[in-house]
Amino acid sequence: MIMMPPRRVSLFMTGGIIFAFAILSSWMAFQVLLGVDIQTGSLAIFLADNISSLLICDKLSAFFILVINFTVLTGFIYSLGYLKPYLNSKSEQWIKLHYLALTWLQASMVLVPMFRNGFYFLMVWEIMTISSFILVIFDYDVKGTFRAGLNYLIQMHVGMLFILTGFLVSSKGSAIISFDNLPAWFASNANWPVFLLFFIGFGLKAGFFFLHTWLPDAHPAAPSHVSGIMSGVMIKLGIYGILRVTTYLAGDLAVIGAAVLIISSVTGLFGVMMAILQHDVKRLLAYHSIENIGIIGIGIGLGIFGSATGNNIICVAGYAGALLHTLNHSLFKSLLFYSAGSVTSAVHTRNIERMGGIMKLMPLTAWAFLIGSIAISGIPPFNGFISEFLIYFSLFSGIGHAGFYPLIMMFAAIVSLVMIGGMALLCFTKVFSIIFLGQPRQQYNDTPHDPAFSMRFAKLMVIVPIVLIGVLPIFVVKPVLNLAGSIFRSDDLPAQSGLAEPMKYISLGVIILVLAAVAVFIIRRFVLSNKKVASGPTWGCGYEATSPRQQYTATSFIQEYAGLSSPIIKTGHTNINYAETEVFPDKRDFHTHSDDFIRSGLINKPADFIVNILRKAAVFQTGKLQHYVLYVLIFLVLFLFLTFFKLI
């Protein structure tokens, strides 16, 4: 239907479908969160009656539906301006297919949390994978894009096999595969083997350490609005799957909680360590998605461990921190991808080494990126601080009641969370200063300027909740605490009210901080009102570079860090050689790179080995009919020989 009309009509229809589906499903989700008994059959306007009758929307589903719809809406609005330059270079049908895939992605992501039936769950999971694959390869003619999309597609199918195996094992003896079979299975069998199957399957989608190798390639390859949606909400459906399985756990809770806590801590540290070394702004943000998945996983691990020890404060704070960080990450990460997309579209490069001085040319984009940077670093007065505070609260509450080995584990998690926050601050200090401050490091072909209204409006839509959650956290934290308590059967009202109480003081502190900043600004304006203010180049401790290319680069900014991290993450650079006869050497480029040892060792080397074998086997593909007849004859003779000697 979307593919048939003219482009403008098709775009209008796409927007109508996305908005209508978002409004209807969000209204249903709000009703569920408010405790109203609703009928999912209202979605029959989009789905067949027999399918819509299988949908079940509980509070966990409702939470994810709201997060999904908001980010998809902002992504669609952002795309209206972002894709304008592509209208002349891409065919009309390809643009229509892109928007068709976006509608399917939204629908499948909303339906994933609502299906308990394993067959239908895997069906919409597959639709989500295929539609996102089409969105990722939008720039298929750019080198590396199709390879990144294909890598993503293959790994998602590997993950689906693990999920299917988990369903089949847990549904043994049942006529259908379903999440509803998990309680009976967990009650009579060891819990960790099936949980591990689901964790690997859903962890591939989420991007946990060792399962993340598709993510740093797919996010940079995709258009920025798709990157924002994928990082903001699509990978969170892996988190949804893990949380859904967690609600059914009946045993092995201490072991599972400890394992999730450890792998999540490693995930967060690895993600931020790799992010610091990146010079491609979108690849950098992709690694920060891995980092934040680790933070969410720490909350989940604490929730499971709290259930194992019977400590409701640890349990509620851990799960609530994980849920709230899921929401917060969807906001500030989509904002960062939207802002990065505005910059890369203006300067036509993702390499931050070639940028600089953009704040003077794109002030609104710079402020949006700064807000996202502060939020993702977990600094007040924005939302990232609030969810990380809940996770810290859970960790410190657990330390006072833990035995020796749990104490070591929680202490290690605290250290990792502190290191993640500190390194995230280092990374975004580098990114913001190199991109937006200083002087341009190259001559831009077109003067960069703030993007179209739709792109600015999408960012504003995201900034509003980022600020509100940071300034008035009590209005969000209390419902999330109640939500976590009801979902994970930890309805301890004193614990929840005790966790909500500090939010009042945080709000007061943030308001005082904001008022103090406003007061300083007003005083400064008053003092300078009668004085002439001159502007000039940035003061550099008495040093003035003769060329903008002599400014600090991203590489020099983190040079000391690169040396400290070298035992874990290897870095390298291009070798530049000069011939003895070169009196006046030609221009050469110098590049640095970091090695993701999991991706290079686990994915690239085996893949290259298989490709080399297939290339050698390609010698048999001669294209001559007589050779193919000979192959058939050889096979028949071999088959006859094996049959004669009863080997088959």
In the predicted model, what is the mean pLDDT of residues 578-606?
Answer: 70
- C-alpha pair distances (Å), 206 with each of 175, 487, 571: 30, 21, 26
Q: Which of 246-255, 279-288, 356-365, 617-626 has the lowest mean pLDDT?
A: 617-626
CA pair distance 528, 378, nearest whole angstrom: 34
Cβ 392 vs Cβ 414: under 8 Å: yes
The larger pLDDT score, comparing residue 601 to residue 213, is at 213
Q: Are 495 and 312 within 8 A, CB to CB?
A: yes
Nearest to 373 by CA among 434, 311, 415: 434
Task: Decide if pLDDT at 9 tops 60.
Answer: yes
User: Is the pLDDT score of 531 beyond 70?
Assistant: yes
Q: What is the pLDDT of residues 61-102, one digit of tens each?
A: 999 999 999 999 999 999 999 998 888 888 888 888 999 999
CA 357 from chain center: how many Å?
28
Sign of the torsion formed by the C-alpha atoms of 109, 182, 325 and 564: negative
Mean pLDDT for the stretch of residues 597-609: 72
DSSP track, 216-232: HHHHHHS-HHHHHHIII
Q: Classify residue 539 as exposed, middle or buried by CB count within 10 Å of its CB (0-12, 13-18, 19+).
A: exposed
| 543-561 pLDDT, tens digit each | 666 677 777 777 778 888 8
Q: How far apart are CA 610 and CA 374, in angstroms?
A: 44
pLDDT at 506: 85
Task: Label residue 381 by pLDDT band (50, 70, 90).
Answer: confident
Average model confidence (pLDDT) across the chain: 86
- At 500 the pLDDT is 72
> Between 74 and 612, whose confidence is greater?
74
User: What percentage of the chain's residues is helix, strand, coil (to nearest 5)?
Assistant: 75, 0, 25
For the chain, the structural domain boundaries read 1-168+208-234, 600-648
- Is the pLDDT assigned to residue 473 strictly greater than 60? yes
Interval 161-188: pLDDT, tens: 999 999 999 988 777 889 989 999 999 9
CA distances from 637 to 132, 187, 500, 526, 640 (A): 47, 55, 77, 97, 5
Structure pTM?
A: 0.89
Q: What mean pLDDT is predicted for residues 309-326?
A: 89
Tokens of 561: 């860090």
Predicted confidence (pLDDT) at residue 646 exceeds the cutoff of 80? no
Summarised one tens digit per residue, pLDDT across range 332-350 is 999 999 999 999 999 988 9
Q: For residue 607, how far is the Cα from the chain centroid?
A: 25
pLDDT higher than 60, residue 598: yes
Task: Note the pLDDT tens digit of each residue in 401-435.
Answer: 667 777 888 888 899 999 999 999 999 999 999 99
Is residue 496 within 8 A of residue 409, CB to CB? The reply is no
Confidence tier at 331 by pLDDT (50, 70, 90)? very high
Nearest to 244 by CA among 186, 291, 294: 186
Q: pLDDT category, 637, cuts 50, 70, 90? A: confident
Max mean pLDDT among 370-384, 436-450, 577-591 falls in: 370-384
